[in-house]
């Protein structure tokens, strides 16, 4: 799950970066940036957080 979360974060970061080369429309760039931010947040808060909470120090 940690690898999946990391991949989601990287893909979410790459979406706005690649969107700069794909289109010159500001609206499309804004939409790609918002989708990228949402993907990063899902990767960080949804997947990575749950993976690290399974092995938290205070749960031992």
**What's the distance, CA 28 to chain centroid?**
18
In angstroms, the CA 39 to CA 51 distance is 17
Confidence of residue 11 (pLDDT cuts 50, 70, 90): very high
Higher-scoring residue by pLDDT: 31, 56: 31
Query: In the prediction, which pLDDT does 42 show?
Result: 95
């Amino acid at each position: 799950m940690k690898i999946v979360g990391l991949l989601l974060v990287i893909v979410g970061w790459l979406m706005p970066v690649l969107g700069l080369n794909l289109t010159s429309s500001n609206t499309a760039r804004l939409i790609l940036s918002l989708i990228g931010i949402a993907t990063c947040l899902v990767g960080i808060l949804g997947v990575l957080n749950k993976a690290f909470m399974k092995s938290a120090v205070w749960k031992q």
